[in-house]
């Protein structure tokens, strides 16, 4: 009976033990990452943006946050086009409207 | 205590007797947890990496739009931003960067011009060699790119340019793999060399970076710049955060949608638990009651059985998801969420998940699974032993 009870306790304790193990590993990786943060930011400062070097299906879009405000592009092979009407950051419509009003008044 | 241990021992033995069913339930649960948790882990890690790096980018980037597309910024545009001076603007930097198609890779590399007054990089950012010197026709590139091009430190490389007017550049260093996520496809060189490679004239720049002494005033400064240069596109640093949230949220949503069949399997498993007990189990419970087990004992044994199956399934699922994403680099899953770059960064991701989140995921799996087993367990526990044995 003792053996079975011990096996049961081990099975129940497996989840908390796994979670603690994974969180400890995650914590140690975060600490290592944080120690290199300043160095990483210095490199990013040289780059056009902080976009990751992952790119989309459209290979010219290395920094999607900065580019192609009006162009449709595919996010990956056979994936639905995520931005059929343009980029994620819209053009400055308010400013353009304001400018148009000023222009009409001239 | 002895009673509890006896009940636990009985529940364990009962699971062992139905090893096939228990194993199938735990494996199905583990598979579903692995799929969902790995998508969540990966999305969180990528989003956090991009978000953390936002502090290093300029508060405002100004781009000139011509015919709905980005055009190069002129020296006169830079002058218009510079004069008259805008309060809280710390620096205005016209930047020379762009893409260069390299036929050997069948993909683009990112060429970044480094101004001569830029402070040298921390040596830890360089895996091999050193940072570049201005005016010496040198370059530093991502280690993944160097590997893809088959060049090593000390090699000269003639990159394609208009009429091959750009000089050959000497590779003097490679970026450390710790910054691979940002610099895997980057060639950093002198600004004049970058202009030659990209075909930018002396009075042109790709965009203008504006640094502010008070980032809170970004919106006001952006408005002032748009007033001076109507039609320009302003990218504020705060907006980048929204872009990342959108991009990774959307991608993880698509992958999660694709994994609906696995989630349906999980629901079916749970339904199997809820739908009641088989005749063998009913008979077993009847015998237990006949030999003196109380209703609460039977209920407890059934709950412990469910708890053990769910707990083992969730533990294996979370372990597999974590090791898949952070130890094995999310092989197979990473391109679906991250992107389809030609030169793919190989840097390991940093987990953002902590103990509280892991417990929350674990409880979200175990809780409903055990809860669903209460009703059939209760039905079984209140069975009349004679009636159950008669079948």
Summarize the confidence of residues A63-87 as an average pLDDT.
Answer: 49
CA atoms within 13 A on the CB side of B164: 3
A16-A17-A22-A25 Cα dihedral, nearest 10 degrees: 140
Give me the phi and psi of B217, to 5 degrees please.
Answer: -95, 15
DSSP assigned state of B196? H
Q: Do B56 and A65 touch (CB under 8 A)?
A: no
Name the minimum distance, in Å, from the CA of A85 to any CA of chain B.
12
pLDDT at A75 over 60: no
Nearest Cα residue in chain A from B176: A40
Candidate from B9, B54, B353 with C-beta closest to A26: B353
- Residue A74: what pLDDT? 44
Residue B100 CA to residue B42 CA, distance in Å, equals 30
Rounded to a whole number of angstroms, the CA Rg of chain B reads: 31
What is the value of ipTM here, to two decimals? 0.73
- B376: closest CA among B271, B266, B269, B277? B277
Q: Which of A22, A68, A88 is nearest residue B243 as measured by Cβ atoms? A: A88
pLDDT at A57: 41
**Interchain proximity B181–A71, CB inside 8 Å:** no
Task: Tell me which range, A4-8, A33-37, B135-139, is most confidently predicted by mean pLDDT.
Answer: B135-139
In B, minimum Cα distance to A90 occurs at: B233
Q: What pLDDT is attached to residue B209?
A: 93
Packing angle, helices B295-322 and B19-52, rounded to 10: 40
Instruction: Using an 8 Å CB-CB cutoff, list chain B residues near A5.
Output: 5-6, 8-9, 12
pLDDT (0 to 100) of residue B275: 61
Distance CA A82, CA A74 (A): 7
Length of chain B: 391
Give the closest-approach CA distance of A94 to chain B in angstroms.
10
The whole-angstrom distance between B69's CA and the closest CA on chain A is 6
Contact B350 A79 (CB under 8 A): no
Q: Are residues B377 and B309 in contact, defined by beta-carbon separation less than 8 angstroms? A: no
pLDDT of residue B340: 52
Helices A2-35 and B355-381, interaxial angle, to 10°? 160
Residue of A nearest to B98 (CA): A48
Q: What is the per-residue pLDDT for B139?
A: 94
Cβ atoms of B185 and B100 within 8 Å: the answer is no
**Binary contact (A52, B338; C-beta < 8 A):** yes
Beta bridge partners of B139: B171, B189
β-pairing verdict for B60-66 and B233-236: antiparallel
Q: What pLDDT does residue A77 have? A: 42
CB-based contact A62 B227, cutoff 8 Å? no
pLDDT of residue B331: 82
A7, A8, A19 member nearest B358 (Cβ): A19
Tell which residue, B14, B346, B308, has the closest CA to residue B174: B346
Q: Is B356 helix (H, G, I), strand (E, B) or coil?
A: helix
Q: Measured between beta carbons, which residues in chain B are less than 8 angstroms from residue A92?
A: 222, 226, 232-234
| CB pair distance less than 8 Å for B12 and A5 | yes
Query: Is the backbone peptide bond immediately before B255 cis, with ω within 30 degrees of 0?
Result: no
Angle of the A2-35 helix axis to the B295-322 helix axis, nearest 10: 30
pLDDT tens for chain B, residues 1 to 391: 777 788 888 888 888 888 888 888 888 889 888 988 998 898 888 888 878 888 888 899 998 888 777 789 999 999 999 988 898 899 999 999 988 888 887 777 889 999 988 888 888 888 899 999 888 899 999 888 898 889 999 999 998 887 677 889 999 999 987 888 888 888 999 999 999 999 899 899 999 999 999 888 988 999 999 999 988 888 888 877 777 777 777 777 777 777 777 777 777 766 666 566 677 777 787 888 888 888 888 888 888 888 899 999 999 999 999 999 999 888 887 766 665 555 666 667 889 888 988 999 888 888 888 887 777 777 777 777 777 677 6
Q: In chain A, what residues touch B46 (CB-CB under 8 Å)?
A: 52, 54
pLDDT at A93 over 80: no
How distant is the Cα of A16 from the closest Cα of chain B, in angstroms? 8
Q: What is the pLDDT of residue A86?
A: 42
Distance from the Cα of B172 to chain A's closest Cα (Å) equals 16
Reduce the DSSP state of residue B150 to 3 states and report it: coil
Instruction: Identify all chain B residues contacting A17, using CB atoms and an 8 Å cutoff.
Output: 315
Q: Which two tokens stand for residue B87?
A: 């309060």
Whole-number average pLDDT of chain A: 70
The nearest alpha carbon in chain B to A46 belongs to B114
Could you tell me the CA-to-CA distances from A52 to B114, B139, B250 in Å, in that order?
19, 21, 16
Closest CA in chain A for residue B207: A48
Contact criterion met (CB < 8 Å) for B108 and A64:
no
pLDDT of B270: 65
Chain-chain contact of A26 with B354 (C-beta, under 8 angstroms): yes
Spatial separation of the C-alpha atoms in residues B184 and B177, rounded to whole Å: 8
Q: Give the nearest chain B residue to A49 (CA atoms).
A: B57
Picking from B367, B364, B261, the residue whose alpha carbon sits closest to that of residue B306 is: B367
Give the whole-angstrom CA distance, residue B307 versus residue B386: 29
CA angle, B166 as apex, B162 and B172 as ends, to 5°?
140
């Amino acid at each position: 009976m003792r053996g079975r009870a011990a096996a049961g306790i081990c099975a129940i304790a497996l989840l908390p033990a796994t979670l603690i193990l994974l969180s400890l590993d995650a914590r140690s990786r975060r600490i290592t990452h944080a120690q290199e943060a300043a160095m990483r930011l210095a490199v990013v400062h040289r780059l056009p943006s902080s976009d990751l070097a992952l790119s989309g299906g459209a290979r010219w879009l290395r920094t999607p946050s900065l580019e192609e405000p009006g162009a449709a592009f595919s996010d990956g092979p056979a994936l639905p086009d995520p931005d059929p009407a343009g980029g994620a950051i819209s053009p400055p419509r308010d400013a353009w409207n304001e400018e148009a009003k000023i222009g009409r008044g001239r | 205590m002895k009673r509890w241990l006896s009940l636990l021992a009985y529940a364990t033995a009962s699971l062992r007797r139905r090893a096939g069913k228990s194993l199938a339930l735990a494996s199905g649960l583990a598979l579903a947890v692995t799929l969902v948790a790995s998508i969540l882990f990966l999305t969180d890690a990528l989003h956090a990496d991009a978000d953390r790096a936002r502090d290093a980018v300029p508060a405002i980037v100004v781009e000139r739009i011509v015919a709905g597309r980005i055009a190069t910024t002129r020296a006169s545009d830079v002058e218009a931003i510079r004069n008259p001076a805008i309060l809280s603007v710390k620096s205005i930097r016209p930047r020379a960067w762009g893409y260069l198609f390299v036929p050997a890779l069948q993909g683009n590399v990112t060429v970044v011009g480094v101004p001569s007054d830029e402070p040298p990089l921390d040596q830890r950012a360089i895996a091999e060699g050193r940072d570049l010197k201005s005016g010496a026709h040198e370059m530093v590139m991502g280690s993944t790119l160097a590997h893809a091009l088959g060049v090593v430190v000390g090699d000269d490389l003639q990159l394609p340019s208009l009429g091959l007017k750009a000089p050959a550049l000497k590779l003097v260093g490679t970026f450390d793999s710790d910054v691979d996520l940002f610099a895997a496809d980057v060639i950093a060189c002198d600004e004049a060399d970058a202009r030659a490679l990209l075909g930018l004239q002396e009075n042109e720049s790709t965009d203008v970076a504006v640094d502010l002494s008070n980032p809170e005033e970004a919106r006001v400064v952006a408005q002032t710049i748009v007033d001076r240069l109507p039609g320009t596109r302003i990218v504020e640093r705060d907006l980048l955060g929204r872009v990342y949230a959108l991009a990774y949220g959307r991608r993880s949503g698509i992958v999660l949608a694709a994994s609906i069949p696995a989630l349906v399997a999980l629901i079916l498993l749970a339904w199997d638990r809820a739908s009641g007990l088989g005749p063998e189990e009913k008979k077993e419970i009847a015998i237990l009651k006949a030999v003196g087990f109380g209703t609460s004992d039977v209920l407890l044994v059934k709950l412990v059985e469910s708890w053990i199956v769910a707990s083992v399934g969730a533990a294996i699922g979370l372990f597999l998801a974590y090791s898949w994403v952070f130890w094995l680099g999310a092989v197979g899953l990473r391109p679906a969420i991250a992107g389809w770059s030609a030169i793919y960064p190989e840097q390991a991701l940093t987990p953002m998940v902590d103990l509280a989140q892991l417990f929350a995921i674990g409880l979200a799996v175990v809780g409903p699974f055990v809860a669903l087993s209460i009703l059939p367990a209760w039905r079984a526990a209140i069975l009349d032993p004679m009636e159950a044995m008669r079948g």
